[in-house]
């Protein structure tokens, strides 16, 4: 999940003292507006400059008047340390593998959400953690916030593993059906559930030829195809996930429930959207991308949805007990 958000409360300024950094941001916004008026710039930079100036008080959220809450600060520190360590050390075992994988370790359930795949991955996750997590921690208190964060991270792992289990089980059933009675139907169903575009062009062409042979009743390549199917299943089992995105989506869900009228900014869209609309749209996008399984997409979308789902369940549980959200 790679998102950037800015929060803006509707009826009150975030900071009380502007300071020099605020004046710098204001000056930059003014210069952008002046440049937009002088030069024939595209509409997007012009609009962005206008919103930077109009919502300049929002920038205070990340300035010196914005103090990161204690638990968020420690989580931020741990994530950065682990990420830096992963750049120089082989700590791939901290990623979460499927339980039947030879690389699975029980401690991975508690370490995977401190690992990140890239600089962009950790930046957007930690940015969201600071922006939303600090507000929620101040509202709930450190212990309750930390419990919620870990609970949603674990929930993301549970949902992701359930999806992988369902997918692997389907692939195993199709591979067994093909091994016992090779047919074009079981062949096409099996390879229709995986990202064939991720294979080399040569292998994709070979699959097309094999499909044509099976369609015409030629099963001479069935044994080789069965072997390939088993290798693909092992590859699915040995894939791993990293990142705090599941917990971040849990925070987003909680923020949308508690602050539905707050306006959020999606990166590159300089139009504020209320949280009660923004969060559901984000979740629907995750569901769509998870179902489409695009070849270029290696994001664990169902883990994101799992974090949001477990966050919602926990919020409903707290509300049922009469606890203030």
pLDDT tens readout for residues 2-33? 333 333 333 333 333 334 433 444 444 444 44
Residue range 240-260: mean pLDDT, rounded: 95
> Does the pLDDT value for residue 321 go beyond 60?
yes
pLDDT the model gives residue 126: 95
> Does the pLDDT value for residue 155 go beyond 90?
yes
> Does the pLDDT value for residue 48 go beyond 90?
no
Bigger pLDDT: 256 vs 67: 256
Bigger pLDDT: 145 vs 295: 145
Residue range 279-305: mean pLDDT, rounded: 88
E-strand stretches of the chain: 7-8, 96-97, 240-241, 263-266, 269-274
Length of the chain: 325
Q: Answer for the pair 249, 156: CB distance below 8 angstroms, yes or no.
A: yes
pLDDT the model gives residue 17: 34
Cα–Cα distance between 187 and 204 in angstroms, integer? 13
Is residue 267 helix, strand or coil?
coil
How much is the mean pLDDT over the chain?
A: 81
- Please tell me the number of Cα atoms within 13 Å of 244 on its side-chain side: 28
pLDDT band at 140 (very low <50, low <70, confident <90, very high): very high
In what helix (H) or strand (E) does residue 193 lie, and over which residues does it extend?
Answer: none
Q: Which of 78-92, 98-112, 282-296 has the lowest mean pLDDT?
A: 282-296
Percent of the chain with pLDDT over 70: 78
Cβ neighbours of residue 128 under 8 Å, at least 6 residues apart?
Answer: 3, 4, 5, 248, 251, 252
Among left, alpha and beta (phi > 0; psi -120 to 50; other), residue 141 is: left
In what helix (H) or strand (E) does residue 98 lie, and over which residues does it extend?
Answer: none
pTM of the model: 0.77
> Does the pLDDT value for residue 62 go beyond 70?
no
pLDDT the model gives residue 52: 44
pLDDT band at 209 (very low <50, low <70, confident <90, very high): very high
The two counts, helices (H) then strands (E), for the chain are 13, 5
DSSP-derived secondary structure for 199-252? S-HHHHHHHHHHHHHHHTT--TTHHHHHHHHHHHHHHHHT-EE--SHHHHHHHH
pLDDT band at 324 (very low <50, low <70, confident <90, very high): confident
Cα–Cα distance between 252 and 325 in angstroms, integer? 14
Q: Are strands 269-274 and 263-266 parallel, antiparallel or unpaired?
A: antiparallel
pLDDT the model gives residue 24: 41
């Amino acid at each position: 999940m790679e998102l950037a958000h800015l929060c803006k409360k509707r009826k009150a300024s975030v900071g009380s003292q502007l300071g020099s950094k605020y004046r710098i941001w204001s000056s930059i916004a003014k210069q952008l507006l002046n440049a937009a008026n002088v030069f024939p710039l595209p509409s997007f930079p012009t609009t962005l400059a206008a919103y930077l100036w109009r919502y300049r008080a929002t920038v205070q959220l990340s300035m010196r008047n914005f103090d990161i809450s204690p638990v968020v600060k420690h989580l931020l520190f741990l994530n950065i340390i682990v990420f830096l360590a992963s750049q120089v050390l082989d700590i791939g075992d901290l990623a979460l593998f499927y339980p039947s994988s030879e690389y699975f370790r029980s401690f991975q359930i508690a370490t995977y959400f401190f690992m990140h795949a890239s600089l962009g991955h950790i930046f957007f996750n930690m940015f969201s953690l600071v922006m939303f997590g600090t507000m929620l921690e101040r509202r709930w208190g450190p212990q309750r916030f930390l419990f919620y964060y870990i609970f949603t991270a674990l929930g993301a792992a549970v949902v992701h593993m359930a999806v992988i289990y369902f997918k692997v089980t389907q692939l195993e059933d199709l591979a067994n059906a093909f091994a016992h009675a090779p047919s074009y139907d079981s062949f096409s169903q099996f390879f229709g559930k995986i990202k064939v575009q991720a294979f080399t062009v040569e292998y994709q062409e070979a699959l097309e030829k094999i499909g044509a042979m099976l369609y015409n009743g030629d099963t001479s390549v069935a044994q080789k195809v069965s072997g390939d199917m088993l290798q693909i299943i092992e590859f699915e089992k040995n894939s791993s996930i990293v990142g705090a995105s599941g917990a971040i989506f849990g925070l987003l869900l909680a923020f949308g429930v508690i602050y539905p009228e707050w306006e959020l900014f999606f990166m590159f869209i300089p139009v504020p959207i209320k949280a009660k609309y923004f969060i559901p749209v984000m979740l629907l996008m995750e569901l769509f991308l998870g179902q489409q399984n695009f070849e270029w997409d290696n994001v664990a979308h169902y883990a994101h949805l799992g974090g949001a789902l477990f966050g919602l369940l926990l919020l409903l549980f707290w509300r049922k007990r009469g606890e203030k959200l």
